[in-house]
Structure formats: structure tokens, C-alpha cells
């Protein structure tokens, strides 16, 4: 991938949604455009979150109640399970993108190297990142974009 920059591999001018868009509309935008994740932007165009297919799947799944143990005639929640429960429950009953979106969005810069982004995807177990330049959303880069780059670099047999 020879130090290709994200701007060369990303999808520019991504389709975005607004925080008050209903969940059914979000799903329709994803399906109609064959997109697995949508940046959520406010009225001024500022990135405020992202909604992914995983967020929508939580809507259609059973939410497991947090684990707890009884201790000295009281209930003690198992550490970490209550926060995960609250997060999944909120997404499961969400009516709008704001209620479903991930707010702490990991982004990459348009001038980052694709190699670094591929490494980050692997380490963070994420399939897509919003791409920023000068504080503005300028694109999205996905695993599929990186696979396309890799396929371009592989010589086709007989094409020498």
C-alpha cells in the first residue's frame, strides 16, 4: 500500500444523517445506499456520532439484564455489566439516531496513512472511520476501501 493517504482511498462526501432521524429512516438510508455506517451530524455539520449496522441489530435483539450477586442480604451488580446493560438497553429502545448512535467517535485524518488506519481497524475491531480534515467531515474509510486498494496492488497473472 506504499504510504497511500486516506484521502486517496476514502469515499468522499459521505451520506450523513441528523440526530433526530427516526430509526426506521436510518435503516432505510443504509439499505437504499448499501452502507454499513452513517455519520451523524448536527445542524451546523459538526460530527456528533455514528450509527452502524451493529447499532441497528441491537434494536432487534434481546438485551440481557446485568448480572448481580447477593451479598449480606443485598444485591451487588457485577462490575462493568450495568454500564453495558444501560448502553444496550438505550440502543434497543431507541427511536432516533441520537439515542442509538455512538457518541465517542474514533476518526482518522485525511492525511493519515492507509496502513495506519488498517492497523487501527484491526486493533479497535472497527470496520469504518469518519475521515476529518481541518475539523470537518470529508469522507468515510471502510475495510472494503482498503481491500480495494490491496486488490489494485496485486499483479494479475499474465499482466507483466
Domain count, the chain: 1
CATH code of the domain covering residue 106: 3.10.580.10
Structural domain contains residue 10: yes
Q: Indicate the pLDDT class of residue 110, thresholds 50, 70 and 90.
A: very high
pLDDT value of residue 63: 43
Q: How much is the average pLDDT of 132-155? A: 88
In-domain check, residue 95:
yes
Is residue 123 one of the residues assigned to a domain?
yes
Please give the share of the chain, as a percent, with pLDDT higher than 90.
Answer: 58
Residue 34 lies in a domain: yes
- Percent of the chain residues topping a pLDDT of 70: 71
Assess if residue 35 is contained within a domain: yes
Domain that holds residue 37: 6-153
The mean pLDDT value for 100-125 works out to 95
Average pLDDT of span 63-75 = 48
Confidence of residue 131 (pLDDT cuts 50, 70, 90): very high
Query: Which pLDDT band holds residue 91 (cuts at 50, 70, 90)?
Result: low
* 160 found inside a domain: no
pLDDT score, position 149: 87
Average of per-residue pLDDT values in the chain: 81
Q: What is the pTM of this model?
A: 0.74
Kindly list the distances between the CA atom of residue 88 and the CA atoms of 48, 66, 93, in Å, as whole numbers in the listed order.
19, 11, 9
Q: In the predicted model, is pLDDT for residue 83 greater than 90?
A: no
Which of 76 and 128 is assigned the larger pLDDT? Answer: 128
In this model, does residue 72 exceed pLDDT 90?
no
- The answer to whether residue 1 is domain-embedded is no
Amino acid at each position: 500500500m506504499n504510504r497511500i493517504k486516506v484521502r486517496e482511498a476514502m469515499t468522499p462526501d459521505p451520506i450523513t444523517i441528523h440526530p433526530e432521524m427516526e430509526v426506521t429512516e436510518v435503516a432505510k438510508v443504509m439499505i437504499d445506499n448499501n452502507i454499513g455506517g452513517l455519520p451523524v451530524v448536527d445542524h451546523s455539520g459538526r460530527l456528533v456520532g455514528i450509527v452502524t449496522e451493529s447499532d441497528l441489530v441491537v434494536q432487534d435483539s434481546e438485551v440481557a439484564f446485568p448480572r448481580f450477586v447477593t451479598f449480606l442480604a443485598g444485591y451487588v451488580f457485577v462490575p462493568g455489566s450495568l454500564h453495558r446493560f444501560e448502553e444496550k438497553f438505550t440502543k434497543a429502545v431507541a427511536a432516533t439516531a441520537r439515542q442509538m448512535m455512538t457518541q465517542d467517535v474514533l476518526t482518522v485524518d485525511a492525511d493519515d496513512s492507509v496502513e495506519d488506519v488498517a492497523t487501527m481497524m484491526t486493533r479497535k475491531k472497527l470496520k469504518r472511520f469518519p475521515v476529518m480534515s481541518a475539523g470537518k467531515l470529508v469522507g468515510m474509510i471502510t475495510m472494503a476501501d482498503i481491500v480495494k486498494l490491496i486488490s489494485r496492488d496485486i499483479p494479475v497473472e499474465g499482466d507483466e
